[in-house]
Structure 1
Amino acid sequence: MADLSEYVTDAVHEQTQTDSPGFDLTVAEVYEVVDPGRIDFGGGELEPAGTAPHASAKRDPEDDYDWWTLRAGQYLVEFNESLTGEATVTVQPRTELLERGATHPTLHVDELPRIPLSVGGAGLRLKANARVSTIVDAEKR
């Protein structure tokens, strides 16, 4: 397998993010879709959805990082990391995310967009910089 770290920039802590197969991606921000976007056949009326950052807070005043409390529903997640653009990578949800009733689509991308996060059941508490996704494969361009 290729060294996936050669395709990733802005890692939070590369040693931890590569301690298992793949390269883990971390949450920088969570957004809510607050206004509908538009998609048409030809693209002439294409408009982005309106988004707003989802509120976060420290669990304890002495904490270094905020937490998001997510109810069941749809969100957009932005990663801390970026891609170099030298490869198309496959990104999938981490098992830890799936086992807590949340998921996102598996994507084949050459840049990291905000991705839809589906949260089910009782919701999810998500800490800033949590590892939620993994790059599992890369195809050099």
Structure 2
Amino acid sequence: MTDFAEYVTDIVHEPTQTDSPGLDLTVAGVYEVVEPGRIDFGGGELDPAGVTPHSSEKRDPADDYEWWTLRGGQYLVEYNESLTGAATVTLQPRTELLERGATHPTLHVDTLPRVPLSVGGAGLKLKENARVSTIVAADKE
């Protein structure tokens, strides 16, 4: 069995994030795309999309963590964790995310970009540090 933690830094709570096959990744931030980016053939006119942090709030003033209330639509999720670059990993959405009408693409990456999150029409309440993705495979470089 692969120890995925050797490829990941800034793990929030390793025992919880490794309690099932793979290693779970947690949400640090949610962003909205507010201005279009540009992609061309040669890359000379490549421009990033304009993004802004999506607002979050505590459910109770005594809470330690905030929640994002997401309406149906597209967002970008940023993780707490980073990859070491020593491997390319396969990242997929957790079942808990899928069963609540949200998803993101399965990716093969050696760094963790912001990942597009699709939220279904009923929306989603997402807590800071929620586990939304899992690393399920790693290819050493």
TM class by smaller structure: over 0.9
Q: Structure 1 residue 2: deviation in Å? A: 1.3
2:104–2:115 contact (8 Å) kept in structure 1: yes
Identity of aligned residues (%): 82
Residues 64-119 of structure 1, C-alpha deviations (whole Å, 9 max, x = no match)? 00000000000000000000100000000000000000000000000000000000
Moved over 2 A (4+): none
Count of aligned positions:
141
Structure 2: distance between partners of 1:40 and 1:104 = 24
Query: Which consecutive unaligned segments of at least 5 residues does structure 2 have?
Result: none
Structure 1: distance between partners of 2:60 and 2:121 = 25
Aligned AA for 1:108? H
2:73–2:121 contact (8 Å) kept in structure 1: no
Query: Which consecutive unaligned segments of at least 5 residues does structure 1 have?
Result: none
SS in 1 for 2:105: coil
Cross-structure match for 1:21: 21
TM-score, normalising length: structure 1: 0.99
Structure 2: distance between partners of 1:2 and 1:16 = 16
TM-score, normalising length: structure 2: 0.99
Q: Structure 1 residue 121: deviation in Å? A: 2.0
Cross-structure match for 1:74: 74
Aligned AA for 1:90? T
Q: Structure 1 residue 36: deviation in Å? A: 0.3
SS in 2 for 1:44: coil
List aligned pairs for 1:37-52, cutoff 5 A: 37-52=37-52
